[in-house]
Structure 1
Amino acid sequence: MTISNDSSAPLVVIAGITGLQGGSVARALAESDKPYRIRGLTRDPSKPTAQAFAGQGVQLVGVSLTADNVAGVAKAFQGADIVFLVTNFNEHMDKQREISEGKMMVDVAKEAGVKLLIWSGLESLSALSGGKFSRVEFFDAKSDITEYAKQSGVPLVVVQAGYYATNIFEGSYALKKQPDGSYVFGLPVPATTSVPVIDVAHDYGLYVRAAVENPALGAGSEVQSGTLISFGEMVAKLSEVSGKKITYVQMTREVFIEATGMPEYGPMLADMFQAFEVHGYYGPRPTTRTDLLAREPRSWADFLDATAVKDLLP
């Protein structure tokens, strides 16, 4: 695993290198037999995660990727051949801010003359559902940025992140431990609802690397990561691997929202899952063929086998 410092190697600028997606992109490129220079952007280069990348040869740049910091972002993108962009709605929960920041970075990348812009987009669940599921702002915001980037004329590949394998263990809708030591995982959709699960830290970068190296997924492509599996199958496999009794429960929308403990965010999550049930995570788009990748990504079963599941269970 090496990162080049040869000036003839393409310079890849990675936004959010200390995050799950950005870090995965850096590791995937470092695993390649092709040379890359990597510049990692982070608000705090002193963080241990950032310093670990610095020790591997990543050039760290401390920068705030906010819409009012065009000059700082332009400096960070200077000389880039390839730029990877990602935004984080959960940092601020503000759709318009996410859109503004994403559009600003697209503009700066275009001005910098990048040969390829790789954007971590998502589908508009509002558009897929004809406005029925209109509250999922973090999907719709990323879709707006995707359309803006397409219209900008910058050489673009959209690499969508699938459903995080860690979601079942984290956050307001994680599985809940019961008094008898068993677990319940509840969502407002049937157990047969499927999502494209991905071990983001381990595998998301594979899809970005393919967008860089595989001509079949070059500029103009849209890449959908992950492997389809139903929530019921996920729970059954988790129960098998952990040796714990884990039950999937289909909740009503109202009970699910109440269970999240977030009256404002809960309806957004309910819309998201119900849109997955009716329209699919990627709408009609299939997941990208794994034979186009440098290696096979982990399945849900692989993720559980490679993870200390007992440490993840609440």
Structure 2
Amino acid sequence: MTITQDNSAPLVAVVGATGIQGGSVVRALAESEKPYRVRGFTRDPAKLAALELAKLGVAVVGVSFVVDNKNEAYKAFAGADFAFLVTNFWEHVDFDRELAEGKLLIDAAKAGGVSGIVWSGLPSLSKISGGKFPHAWHYESKALVTEYGRQSGVPFVDVQTGMYETNFLNSPFAPSKQADGSFVVAFPVKPTTVLPVLDAVRDYGLFVRHVLELPVFPNGAEFVAYEKNMTLTDLAEQWSQGTGKNIVLAQIPVEQFKQGLEGAGLPPHIVLDLSEVFLVWDEFGWKVPPIPQGLARRPHTWADFVKDTDWSKVLA
């Protein structure tokens, strides 16, 4: 069913509608048998991705959700029934900015009178590690926004996302070619470390749609969007099988991992952030709940992603 303009259908306001998660939400709603009106927010409504959304029937609205644009942000959600909210830490790598903008989104959605908020959060790795690893900034900022949202008085659901499978197309997740023609993915974790993986582009929106289509909006619930908990060994084996290349995981000391991040030009606080993420995964794990029953379809597998992805530049 296509997105409708019928005023009897619920209106879902989607932040980041031209991005990975917001775009996935829009597509998932467009695939539903239930009718939805969709208001999609983007900073540049003239860009190609925004024009494609408009062709789907999305009401594309140009707005920048920064603190200095509070008045426009507060107007953006007027009349919406539900809001999907997401921030992009990697655009600016600023903890304080992401926290402030996340709170702004919640305040703006509340001002617009929405009946429910779906937020893309992450767990606090500081809490998971008992305070041992407090510097995973892009997790901590989202976790604090989650706490703020739960105190907003608006029904609030956190739909976290597992590891993006697209991460493996880019440094520091992409493999490096060895002299013998094999490829090595070098992380400071044991090969048996388990991670929830997700084709976020195609499947994150499934989980948001699931929340919106439950008989009762599950206020206070937490979901993790993922296809499977995979060991890194299994991931490398399926990667090899799908590409015909010999791809292996190598466990390296964290200091060597940090040197690689520094060599890639990442700022010191991000080197520390990413290093602690891996250390938490390795020592404490990411204990995710079961995949919810009743998704509209099964998420794509890692093997699906490998098969459908062009690896020619990564595995050259």
- What TM-score, normalized by structure 2, do the two folds share? 0.94
After superposition, give the CA deviation of every residue in 1:155-176 in whole Å (9 maximum; x if it has no partner): 1111001100111221333211
Tell me, in whole angstroms, the C-alpha distance in 2 between the residues paired with 1:292 and 1:4.
Answer: 24
SS of equivalent residue, structure 2 residue 52: helix
Tell me, in whole angstroms, the C-alpha distance in 2 between the residues paired with 1:18 and 1:280.
Answer: 32
**Which shifted more, 130-139 or 205-214?**
130-139
Tell me, in whole angstroms, the C-alpha distance in 2 between the residues paired with 1:198 and 1:257.
Answer: 25
What's the C-alpha RMSD, in Å, of the aligned pairs? 1.5
Tell me, in whole angstroms, the C-alpha distance in 1 between the residues paired with 2:279 and 2:170.
Answer: 19
After superposition, give the CA deviation of every residue in 1:131-187 in whole Å (9 maximum; x if it has no partner): 111111000000000000001111111100110011122133321123443211010
After superposition, give the CA deviation of every residue in 1:188-230 in whole Å (9 maximum; x if it has no partner): 0001111110000100000000010023762221111112001
Tell me, in whole angstroms, the C-alpha distance in 2 between the residues paired with 1:259 and 1:287.
Answer: 34
Gaps of 5+ in 2: none
Q: Which residue of 2 aligns with 1:169?
A: 169
Q: Which residue of 2 aligns with 1:29?
A: 29
After superposition, give the CA deviation of every residue in 1:102-144 in whole Å (9 maximum; x if it has no partner): 1111111112221110000000001111211111100000000
Percent of counterpart pairs with the same letter?
46
**Which shifted more, 22-31 or 255-264?**
255-264
In the TM superposition, 1:141-290 aligns within 5 A as 141-215=141-215, 218-226=218-226, 227-260=228-261, 261=263, 262=266, 264=268, 265-281=270-286, 284-289=287-292
Contact 1:241 1:305 in 2 (8 A): yes
Amino acid at match of 1:271: E
User: Could you tell me how far 1:73 is from its partner in structure 2?
Assistant: 1.1
Tell me, in whole angstroms, the C-alpha distance in 2 between the residues paired with 1:101 and 1:313.
Answer: 38
1:9 equivalent in alignment to 2:9: yes
SS of equivalent residue, structure 1 residue 133: coil
Tell me, in whole angstroms, the C-alpha distance in 2 between the residues paired with 1:210 and 1:70.
Answer: 30
Q: CA 1:238/1:285 → structure 2, altered by over 3 Å: closer, same or farther? A: closer
SS of equivalent residue, structure 1 residue 44: coil
Q: Which residue of 2 aligns with 1:45?
A: 45
**Which shifted more, 128-137 or 205-214?**
128-137
Tell me, in whole angstroms, the C-alpha distance in 2 between the residues paired with 1:287 and 1:143.
Answer: 20
Contact 1:136 1:269 in 2 (8 A): yes
**Which shifted more, 299-308 or 150-159?**
299-308
**Which shifted more, 106-115 or 93-102?**
106-115
Contact 1:169 1:313 in 2 (8 A): no
Contact 2:138 2:273 in 1 (8 A): no
Tell me, in whole angstroms, the C-alpha distance in 1 between the residues paired with 2:31 and 2:267.
Answer: 44
Amino acid at match of 2:302: W
Q: Which residue of 2 aligns with 1:119?
A: 119
Contact 1:126 1:132 in 2 (8 A): yes
Tell me, in whole angstroms, the C-alpha distance in 2 between the residues paired with 1:248 and 1:216.
Answer: 43
**Which shifted more, 208-217 or 69-78?**
208-217
User: Could you tell me how far 1:312 is from its partner in structure 2?
Assistant: 4.8
SS of equivalent residue, structure 2 residue 151: helix
**Which shifted more, 171-180 or 203-212?**
171-180
**Which shifted more, 137-146 or 104-113?**
104-113
